[in-house]
């Protein structure tokens, strides 16, 4: 294209990949932060699995489903069921952060019959209550009726869950 000698030079359009380039790193950081937030229990579990043995549990877990239901009926308490597995990173995180907590242990002992179910060996609880992912935390009445359920919960969430909030 010929230009008049006194006309200002025309500029070629900017390459298409440079538009908004200042915002791109920010968007990637936001996306990364979101992924880390959503996967935090998984990341913590992998870290704990690689670096430390779990602290002692503050909860005196039972392992027999029918005996836990019978104890709940006799003591007029609810059954707190934790369906987990040794290989499950969020389950490992809960062992470190939730089930080892003294306040969680006190609240469980005061109102619940705690039942620990190994998802790899369970053929009763998971099918009966439709557990399709772990960790699964269930609260049952003494007759085995489901009162409420949750998945991974941090310490504060577990305390609210135990209180019925």
How far is residue 40's CA from residue 52's CA, in Å, rounded to a whole number? Answer: 17
The tokens describing 163, both together, are 């209180």
More confident residue, 111 or 50: 111
pTM confidence score: 0.73
* pLDDT in the model for residue 17: 53
Three-class DSSP category at 19: coil
pLDDT at 25: 76
Three-state DSSP class for residue 110: helix
Give me the pLDDT at residue 49, please. Answer: 72
**How would you classify the pairing of strands 112-118 and 136-140?**
unpaired
Averaged pLDDT for residues 86-99: 92
Of 114, 116, 115, 113, nearest to 75 (Cα)?
113
Decide which of 37 and 163 is more confident: 163
DSSP state of 58: S
User: Which CATH number is 21-165's, of 3.40.630.30, 3.40.30.10, 3.40.50.1110, 3.40.1280.10?
Assistant: 3.40.30.10
Residue 37 has a pLDDT of 52
**Percent residues over pLDDT 70 in the chain:** 75
The domain limits of the chain are: 21-165
Rounded CA-CA distance 160/91 in Å is 18
Stretch 133-162: mean pLDDT, rounded? 96
Task: Render pLDDT for 5-61 as a digit per residue (tens, 0 to 9).
Answer: 665 666 655 555 555 567 787 777 666 655 555 555 767 766 667 776 778 899 999
């Amino acid at each position: 294209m010929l230009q008049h000698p006194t006309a200002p030079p025309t500029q070629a359009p900017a390459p298409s990949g440079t538009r908004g380039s200042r915002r791109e790193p920010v968007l990637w950081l936001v996306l990364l932060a979101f992924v880390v937030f959503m996967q935090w229990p998984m990341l913590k579990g992998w870290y704990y699995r690689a670096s430390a043995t779990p602290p002692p549990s503050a909860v005196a877990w039972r392992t027999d489903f029918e005996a836990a239901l019978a104890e709940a009926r006799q003591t007029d308490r609810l059954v707190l069921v934790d369906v987990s597995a040794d290989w499950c990173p969020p389950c490992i995180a809960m062992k470190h952060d939730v089930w080892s907590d003294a306040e969680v242990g006190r609240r469980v002992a005061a109102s619940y019959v705690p039942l620990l179910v190994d998802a790899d060996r369970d053929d009763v609880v998971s099918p009966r209550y439709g557990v399709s992912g772990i960790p699964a935390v269930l609260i049952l009445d003494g007759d085995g009726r489901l009162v409420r359920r949750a998945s991974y919960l941090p310490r504060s969430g577990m305390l609210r869950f135990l209180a019925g909030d």
